[in-house]
Structure 1
Amino acid sequence: MPSGSMENGLRIGDRVLVNKLAYRFGASPRRGDVVVFDGAGNFGDGDFVKRVAAVAGDHVVCCGEEGRLEVNGRPVDESSFLHPGDAPSDVPFDVVVPPDRLFVLGDHRADSSDSRNRLGAPGGGMVPIGDVIGRADWVVWPTRHWTHLERPSAYARVPAADGAHG
């Protein structure tokens, strides 16, 4: 990890094991997955690591009446992974994710350039599913940070939108 955009779950200097087969054979990224993607054309040169907040067809808003990220009208409790002290977003947004795209956010929103910051840029800030390299499944280095990266339950109650797989 070259930056603090995914802290506290992923720290600067951490090495992650990427499952490059996770989204092959018909599987797609799901809300809550930590994905690695090629940022060329949308984010910049190199690979990026972010959490999937919304998938194709989802209506994602920040911030809703409860001051939280909302996906398909359901507030998302991000407390298990959002960096302590960070707001869900300091940039308001209200978008529907286009087909074959992902809306991604860093866990450390105050230190992350992600979909919400790039809505007016080429590609609309959304990551093409074809640019996803794989799912980050394990922190493997340094060994004291060794941990399995699991999909949080925060998105479990979000209803599917037309064309969405969550």
Structure 2
Amino acid sequence: MTDNSSAEADSAAVPRRRSKGRGVALFLRDLLIIFIAAIIISVGIKTFLVRSFYIPSSSMENTLQVNDRIIVNQLVPGMVELERGDIVVFRDPGGWLTQVPEETRPPLVEALDWFLALIGFSAPDSNDHLIKRVIGLPGDEVACCNAFGQMSVNGVPLDEPYLKLPDRVNKVAKDDFAVTVPEGSLWVMGDNRYNSCDSRCNVTGPSKGYVPIDNVVGRAVMISWPTERWTWLDNYPTVFEGVAEAQPLAQ
């Protein structure tokens, strides 16, 4: 009688073990599917909607600090028009950046960084891009400086609260200039005016200081890291609200 009961218990345990094993396999399969789907969604978002960059320089202080991470809206300018005051990330239009030799890293670190970049959590190409604030749109006449040290756009002086200037300096740029922004281009400047190599200091280079709109990756919309600096980035529309639209450039 005892032997029969033991045999029955063993035979009943086999299906339970098989069922448990099948349940674990299904769980792992579902977990893998969710992981793959998450990667596909992340890649899609990074490719078409938003991506992350880090700030390697002090040219946009105090708005952005060195090593801040930002979220960039890639629908600008493709689907959403650029506006004066927007903070934009763009590819070097030629001669703005000094070429830095690539750092050799262990293969495991390279692989991890590649994967994080794929899903938008790393930005290994940040050193190949620049970030500045749009001051002039195509056709705008941008000039500096008036008797009060202000910059003007289409004859309207700007009161720029986002600027970082040296102590006892009220002139918003080191050098005087007057330009008319060509069609399809932008005039951009850093918020840390006396420590930013922007349109103003690239006028003798290949780009003549202008940034082709086609080079714009997107508009920076928020600081995502470090967490204590989480904030939306303002394009200060009140600074430019009195600026009249530029007249179309002659073809």
TM-score band by shorter chain is over 0.9
Whole-angstrom distance in 1 between the partners of 2:204 and 2:81: 25
Contiguous gaps of at least 5 residues in structure 2:
1-54, 100-127
In the alignment, what sits opposite 1:4? Answer: 58
Q: Which residue in 1 is equivalent to 2:189?
A: 105
Structure 1 window deviating more from structure 2 (16-25 vs 135-144): it is 16-25
Higher strand fraction (1 or 2): 1
Q: Which has the higher helix share?
A: 2
Structure 1 residue 13, shift from structure 2 partner: 0.9
Change (3 A) 1:132 1:124: same
Q: Distance in 2 between matches of 1:154 and 1:129?
A: 22
How many residue pairs match? The answer is 162
Q: Does 1:61 align with 2:114?
A: no
1:69-113: CA deviation from partner (whole Å, max 9, x where unpaired): 0000000001x2001436310011101000000000000011100
Return the offset for 1:66.
Answer: 2.5
* TM-score between the two structures when normalised by the length of structure 1: 0.92
4+ runs deviating over 4 angstroms: none
**Distance in 2 separating the partners of 1:77 and 1:105:** 15
TM-score when normalising by structure 2: 0.62
Confirm or deny that 1:140 pairs with 2:193.
no
Q: Which moved more, 1:63-72 or 1:5-14?
A: 63-72
Q: Once the two structures are aligned, what percentage of the paired residues are identical? A: 40
Superposition deviation, residue 22 in structure 1: 2.3
Which protein has the larger Cα radius of gyration, Structure 1 or Structure 2? 2
Determine helix, strand or coil for the equivalent of 2:173. Answer: coil
The alignment status of 1:47 with 2:129, answered yes or no, reads yes
Name the amino acid aligned to 1:47: H
- 1:111-126 aligned at under 5 Å gives the runs 111-126=195-210
User: 3-state SS of the aligned residue for 1:122?
Assistant: coil
* Contact residue 89 and residue 218 of structure 2 kept, 8 A: yes
In 1, Cα distance between equivalents of 2:155 and 2:148: 11
**Structure 1 regions of 5+ residues with no counterpart?**
none
| Cα distance in 2 for residues equivalent to 1:70 and 1:47 | 27
